């Protein structure tokens, strides 16, 4: 992990969490309260229904709040959608775009993901742009080809290190308990870094690259030590403050 890049540990709650889940934000804030200056940034991305409440509970703490998706337009006749500006207004500072579940369940193409990332930048949000291969693509030896293609099509041309984070999430590892080997992660993250530097120069060298896919306290230390892993995008293990803290503490 490059020393000049401050890690980001982000929790994606997905479609989980009711009002009572605010207690997990409180519990996490209490664990962080004793750390004057954490060595990493901490982010929680709850469902949209909880963003404002989570921001209020986290106010004054070292926890940032983000959204899980946004529409490319700022407003309009898009029933059920949420714009990046709405997320910003609710208290979000980040938004995840292009998660594999959005790509698969909602047929989101690279072009759509790029438009959403551009919308995030327009609203002043940092976009966490997700890329990752399926098991079939992995078995066919197409991992790097797929990742490079997704990066090319999903990242805005004006992306900067301040406003853009890349998250590598092998689809076959999400929620399955399976993770690639450290060597596999190093190979993919190295390829991502090279692609970012080639396209964005010094900005690409500074962009954070997160690993996601069955990250848990038991494997976080090994993953943290992999070159070009600048943090984690955590799913189920972020739903409980204790579990999430077990991951955060390996980075912070």
Kindly report, residue by residue over 72-90, the tens digit of the pLDDT.
999 999 999 999 999 999 9
Give this prediction's pTM: 0.96
pLDDT higher than threshold 60 for residue 220: yes
* Distance between CA atoms of residues 25 and 238, nearest Å: 10
Instruction: Check if 71 is active-site.
Output: no
Q: What is the reported pLDDT for 73?
A: 98
Helices (H), the chain: 22-33, 51-58, 84-90, 100-105, 110-123, 135-139, 143-154, 182-200, 202-206, 217-224, 241-251
- From 138, 139, 203, select the one nearest 169 (Cα to Cα): 138
pLDDT in the model for residue 34: 72
pLDDT tens track for 131-174: 999 999 999 999 999 999 999 999 999 999 999 999 999 998 88
Cβ neighbours of 149 (radius 10 Å): 13
Task: Say what the pLDDT of residue 1 is.
Answer: 40
Instruction: Report pLDDT for 33.
Output: 85
pLDDT at 6: 94
Q: What pLDDT, on the 0 to 100 scale, is given for residue 214?
A: 87
169 assigned to active site: yes
pLDDT band at 2 (very low <50, low <70, confident <90, very high): very low
The distance in angstroms from the start CA to the end CA of the chain is: 13
Closest to 65 in 3D by CA, of 81, 47, 83 = 47
Single out the catalytic residue among 41, 85, 133, 169.
169
pLDDT in tens, 105-116: 999 999 999 999
Residue 137's H or E segment, with its range, is helix 135-139
Which domains are seen in the chain, by residue range? 96-242 (3.20.20.70)
Catalytic residue from among 99, 108, 118, 133: 99
């Amino acid at each position: 992990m490059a020393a000049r890049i401050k890690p980001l540990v982000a929790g994606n709650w997905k479609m989980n969490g009711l009002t009572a889940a605010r207690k997990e934000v409180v519990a996490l804030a209490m664990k962080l309260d004793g750390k004057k200056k954490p060595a990493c940034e901490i982010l929680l991305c709850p469902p949209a229904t909880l963003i404002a409440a989570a921001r209020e509970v986290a106010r004054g703490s070292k926890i940032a709040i983000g959204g899980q998706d946004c529409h490319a337009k700022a407003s309009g006749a898009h029933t059920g959608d949420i714009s990046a500006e709405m997320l910003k207004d609710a208290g979000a500072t980040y938004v995840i775009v292009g998660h594999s579940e959005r790509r698969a369940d909602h047929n989101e193409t690279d072009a759509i993901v790029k438009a959403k990332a551009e919308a995030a930048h327009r609203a002043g949000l940092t976009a966490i742009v997700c890329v990752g291969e399926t098991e079939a693509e992995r078995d066919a030896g197409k991992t790097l080809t797929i990742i490079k293609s997704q990066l090319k099509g999903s990242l805005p041309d004006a992306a900067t290190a301040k406003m853009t984070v890349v998250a590598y999430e092998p689809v076959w590892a999400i929620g399955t308990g399976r993770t690639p080997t450290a060597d596999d992660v190093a190979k993919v993250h190295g390829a991502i870094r090279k692609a970012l530097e080639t396209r964005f120069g010094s900005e690409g060298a500074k962009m954070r690259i997160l690993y996601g896919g069955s990250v848990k306290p038991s494997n976080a230390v090994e993953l943290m030590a992999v070159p070009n892993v600048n943090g984690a995008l955590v799913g189920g293990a972020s739903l409980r403050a204790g579990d999430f803290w077990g991951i955060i503490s390996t980075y912070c």
